[in-house]
Amino acid sequence: MIGGLRVGGLRVSPLRLPFAAEPLLLFLTRQPSIASFHRRISRHCTVCSSSHAQTEKGHRQKVIVISGPTGAGKSRLSLELAKRLNGEIISADSVQVYRGLDIGSAKPSICERREVPHHLIDILHPSEDYSVGQFYEDARQITEEILSKGRVPIVSGGTGLYLRWFIYGKPNVPKASPEIASEVHSELSGLERDGDWDAAVQLVVKAGDPGVQSLAANDWYRLRRRLEILKSSGASPSAFPLPYNSFKEKSGSSEVEVLEMNSSTDELHDSKSKDLDFDFICFFLSTHRLDLYRSIDFRCEDMLLDGGILTEAQWLLDLGLMPNSNSATRAIGYRQAMDYLLACREQGSWSSSRYFYTFLSEFQKASRNFAKRQLTWFRNEPIYQWIDAAQPMENVLSFICDAYHVQNGNLSIPRSLIMKKDVSNHREVQDLKAYRTKNRHFITREDCGSILEWVKKTQQGQATVPAVL
């Protein structure tokens, strides 16, 4: 426990925190809530009503988007880019919004956030949920504010749906009235309290939305929201057209055409993106799959050094949260770490080296699979130019800066920086099939001895099923 602190003349209540270090100062400080940013939305896509979306001459304002699979280096690239372009960074990461989840989400350090303003980091408690709709509203408003200061918005992150809605707009789905929200709460609260997810899903299916069967287990926030939409409109969410789909239909682009696009995407940028609210300049940073997988495996190891993500997972359990029970605890790394610690508690605060390595392997595999899904997702996003993250940082930075400053928004990517979207070489395919993890920190039983000792000291006397808040 940490005693009460006095910040800016205000008394801050004691909080139990996941670790004790300088980052706690940020953890204790809740960012002010972002007011709802209303826009007029047409049936098929969001229409920007902003005064900053276009300049006085009618030209759309430029917004840079940097994405890539986990571990590709997009955070570092965005930071250096912001320094050169007088920019501010908007995080498009569904885990970085949570306070206390620093290591598993690879948040920028306190020092880096002092160098360059970062937004949508540490805005929520892990017990709260955050939706793509909320991200859209928050990120669009922050973009307007950054542009109004004459600075450059740089949206950086790997949550594909966040970025898709941010760029193309959100569907015109009705907001639930207080009466409907109360009605939905009364119908689902008892089932949620009892943990009867299957019964809750069937309730919504019978109400008219079979699509809820594809939701992740225990995603109560989205289940409630879908039932609210159903009761408010008489239709399931799938009945509301997505601006992204409408954009593709309007442009006459099929999925096959998207996959066959040249990496530079100049032609696509010219013909289609002119209808968007902003002049989005989008880059996807990646590297050869084998190198990416090795980097991810090493990164997972690094997150376990000195307690690391296990300390943060223990804190989540101490809050009364269970793995896979909400947005924060479904996050890769935290879910596996929480499961591991609960299993250790069931074994009397004990873990064998074999069990630890099983946990590490599951963590690494889940992270690689997530990166694979990210690559698949962004192959279908033709607005992005794919850049080879293995190339010198200076070359990548220079190209993106040039792309930002060019007047017509068309700048062919140098051949040396192009990253292929698909694994087409037979040798590469065979190498991927034969890939096996080779750790650099955790190899023998002795290597994980400090973690096993930490488990023994910290998990003793802990409940196997945390008390619910």
In this predicted model, what pLDDT tens digit does every residue of 319-336 receive, in sequence order? 999 998 889 999 999 999
Residue with tokens 């037979």: 426
CATH number, residue 414: 3.40.50.300
In terms of domains, do 210 and 355 share one? Answer: no
In this structure, what are the phi and psi dihedrals at residue 27, rounded to the nearest 5 degrees? -60, -35
In terms of domains, do 208 and 332 share one? Answer: no
In terms of domains, do 215 and 342 share one? Answer: no
Reported as a single tens digit per residue, the pLDDT across 384-409 is 999 999 999 999 999 999 999 986 65
> 320-329 burial string, b = 16+ CB within 10 Å, else e?
ebbbbbbbbb
Query: What is the span of the domain harbouring residue 140?
Result: 61-173+241-289+379-426
In terms of domains, do 204 and 224 share one? Answer: yes
The pLDDT, as a whole number, for residue 454 is 93
Percent of the chain with pLDDT over 90: 54
Reported as a single tens digit per residue, the pLDDT across 16-74 is 344 333 332 333 333 434 333 333 333 334 434 344 565 545 578 999 999 999 989 99
In terms of domains, do 169 and 184 share one? Answer: no
For residue 60, the SS3 value is strand
Distance (Å, whole) CA 159 – CA 167: 13
In terms of domains, do 228 and 344 share one? Answer: no
Please report which residue ranges of 155-288 form alpha helices under DSSP H: 160-168, 178-194, 197-207, 220-233, 243-251, 255-259, 266-272
Averaged pLDDT of the chain: 82
In terms of domains, do 224 and 285 share one? Answer: no
What one-character DSSP code corresponds to residue 451?
Answer: H
In terms of domains, do 89 and 210 share one? Answer: no
Range in 24-38, 168-182, 266-280, 445-459 the model is least confident about: 24-38
Q: Could you tell me the pLDDT band of residue 443, with boundaries at 50, 70 and 90?
A: very high
Residue 348 domain flag = yes
The pLDDT, as a whole number, for residue 36 is 36
Average pLDDT over residues 266-291: 78
In terms of domains, do 353 and 448 share one? Answer: yes
The pLDDT, as a whole number, for residue 77 is 96
> 95-119 burial string, b = 16+ CB within 10 Å, else e?
bbbbbbbbbbbbbbeeebbeebebb
What one-character DSSP code corresponds to residue 301?
Answer: H
Q: What value does the CA radius of gyration of the chain take, rounded to a whole number of Å? A: 23
The pLDDT, as a whole number, for residue 420 is 87
Residue 283 domain flag = yes
Instruction: Select from 404, 397, 413, 368 the least CA-distant residue to 261.
Output: 413
Residue 37 domain flag = no
Instruction: Select from 326, 318, 309, 421 the least CA-distant residue to 367.
Output: 309
In terms of domains, do 72 and 149 share one? Answer: yes
Residue 273 domain flag = yes
The pLDDT, as a whole number, for residue 17 is 41
Percent of the chain with pLDDT over 70: 80
Average pLDDT over residues 284-310: 94
pLDDT at 310 over 50: yes
Of residues 249 and 128, the one with the higher pLDDT is 128
Total domains present in the chain: 3
Distance (Å, whole) CA 293 – CA 279: 33
Report the phi/psi class of residue 461: left, alpha or beta, with left for phi > 0 and alpha for psi in -120 to 50: left
Strand stretches in 68-124, DSSP E: 87-91, 118-119
Residue 465, amino acid: V
Residue 17 domain flag = no
Distance (Å, whole) CA 65 – CA 285: 11
Cα distance from N-terminal residue to C-terminal residue, the chain: 18
Residue 416 domain flag = yes
Please report which residue ranges of 29-88 form alpha helices under DSSP H: 74-85
Range in 83-87, 283-287, 400-404, 426-430 the model is least confident about: 426-430
Q: Report strand pairing: 152-156 vs 10-12.
A: unpaired
Q: Are 433 and 342 in contact (CB under 8 A)?
A: no
Distance (Å, whole) CA 342 – CA 337: 9
What one-character DSSP code corresponds to residue 279?
Answer: E
Average pLDDT over residues 353-379: 95
In terms of domains, do 450 and 397 share one? Answer: no
The pLDDT, as a whole number, for residue 259 is 35
pLDDT at 268 over 50: no
CB atoms within 10 A of CB 274: 10
Instruction: Select from 346, 365, 343 the least CA-distant residue to 354.
Output: 343
The pLDDT, as a whole number, for residue 212 is 86
Reported as a single tens digit per residue, the pLDDT across 229-255 is 888 888 888 887 788 887 777 665 444
Instruction: Select from 71, 146, 84, 74 the least CA-distant residue to 115.
Output: 84
Residue 20, amino acid: A
Average pLDDT over residues 371-389: 93
Residue 158 domain flag = yes
Q: Are 448 and 356 in contact (CB under 8 A)?
A: yes
What one-character DSSP code corresponds to residue 106?
Answer: T
Q: What is the distance of C-alpha 449 from the center of its chain?
A: 32
Instruction: Select from 147, 157, 91, 152 the least CA-distant residue to 118.
Output: 91
Instruction: Select from 342, 338, 345 the least CA-distant residue to 310.
Output: 338
Q: What is the distance of C-alpha 200 from the center of its chain?
A: 27
For residue 446, the SS3 value is helix
In a 13 Å sphere around the CA of 156, the CA atoms on its Cβ side amount to 29
Residue 18 domain flag = no
Beta-carbon contacts of residue 208 (< 8 Å; ≥ 6 apart): 230, 235, 236
The pLDDT, as a whole number, for residue 317 is 95
Of residues 189 and 88, the one with the higher pLDDT is 88
Q: Are 17 and 8 in contact (CB under 8 A)?
A: no
In terms of domains, do 126 and 255 share one? Answer: yes
Distance (Å, whole) CA 460 – CA 443: 26
Instruction: Select from 318, 286, 334 the least CA-distant residue to 326.
Output: 334
For residue 154, give the H/E element and its range.
strand 152-156
Residue with tokens 């004691």: 14
Reported as a single tens digit per residue, the pLDDT across 173-231 is 778 888 888 888 888 888 888 888 899 999 999 888 898 898 888 888 888 888 988 88
Average pLDDT over residues 408-424: 81
